[in-house]
A = this chain, B = another copy of it.
């Protein structure tokens, strides 16, 4: 079933211990939609400037991603982010954030996308996430991401926004910040009481956890021999997770959740996050195939299943 992804399309400058790239395609919407495109039909709603390269649009199109909702602001510049990673790549420092056209992003869902059944709201202002959802007709499953800035400085608006999401997908430090609980089990209980029936907590190299009414499921992280660039890995997780649910036509509620399918969605999310780290930016997705994805899924089963 078709998936709509909303979020940032950006250019990133990234420095890791393995090298430096001054300008490359990035942004949450980009990563989510590329990862999800291996599983299902994907369309995006996003904004770029006049400087957006044709070859970057081509890459998205080659993955079958619908670009009718990709607005180009004439005379504007695309969102630019630049950061540098620590030696172990567990921390990063932001050096530049030029919002550019993203500052006035007013997402409009094209009519042809309004009946998409799956909706993934990348990390943007909570009010905009809500506005997008209101434009949709008959969404079957809505999930989204957020970040520390919205949790701390726009808490009320964020709480109003996530209250009717089917799932929230955040990292462990965000989960602790949102709940005020250091312990992740208690944090998960508190967050699920805020609305999202399903909570996915990403833990970077340590894997991911899914919490719902039936309990929880934990997948350890994939052991890469070399992490080139972790930028976008969490968004690729999101893309793999909701992409698989959309491929299978699954929802997350109403008491008929197939536990195995949920666990598979978490594993496919982890698989897509792991591929993302293997090369700079979106480069791994230029040649990645579904067969490679399924082979890594089998590897996950190998190293986690009795």
Interface residue ranges, A against B (CB under 8 Å) = 87-88, 182-186, 203, 206-207, 209, 215-220, 223-227, 260, 263-264, 301-306
Contacts and interface: CB of A to CB of B under 8 A. Distances in A.
Within the oligomer, what is the number of copies of this chain?
Answer: 2
B303 A185 contact: no
A223 B216 contact: yes
Contacts of A186: 225
A305 B305 CA distance: 6
Nearest to A176: B88
A306 B305 contact: yes
A215 B298 CA distance: 13
A306 B203 contact: no
Contacts of A220: 206-207, 209, 218-220
A295 to B, nearest CB: 14
Nearest to A189: B225
A219 to B, nearest CB: 7
B224 A185 contact: yes
Contacts of A203: 206
A183 B226 CA distance: 7
A218 B221 CA distance: 9
Contacts of A207: 206, 220
A266 to B, nearest CB: 10
Contact of A306 (B184, B301, B303): B301
B206 A303 contact: no
Contacts of A301: 306
Sorted nearest first, the 8 A-B pairs with minimum C-beta distance are: A218-B220, A206-B206, A185-B223, A263-B306, A220-B220, A260-B306, A185-B225, A218-B303
Nearest to A186: B225
A225 B88 contact: no
A17 to B, nearest CB: 9
29 contacts: A87-B182, A88-B182, A183-B224, A183-B225, A183-B226, A183-B227, A185-B223, A185-B224, A186-B225, A203-B206, A206-B206, A206-B207, A207-B220, A209-B220, A209-B223, A215-B303, A216-B223, A217-B304, A218-B223, A219-B304, A220-B220, A260-B306, A263-B306, A264-B306, A301-B306, A304-B304, A304-B305, A305-B305, A305-B306
A225 B225 CA distance: 33
Given A209-B223, A301-B306, 12 more contacts: A88-B182, A184-B223, A206-B206, A209-B220, A217-B304, A218-B220, A218-B223, A218-B303, A219-B304, A220-B220, A260-B306, A304-B305
Contacts of A88: 182
A260 B305 CA distance: 9
A303 B184 contact: no
A51 B209 CA distance: 47
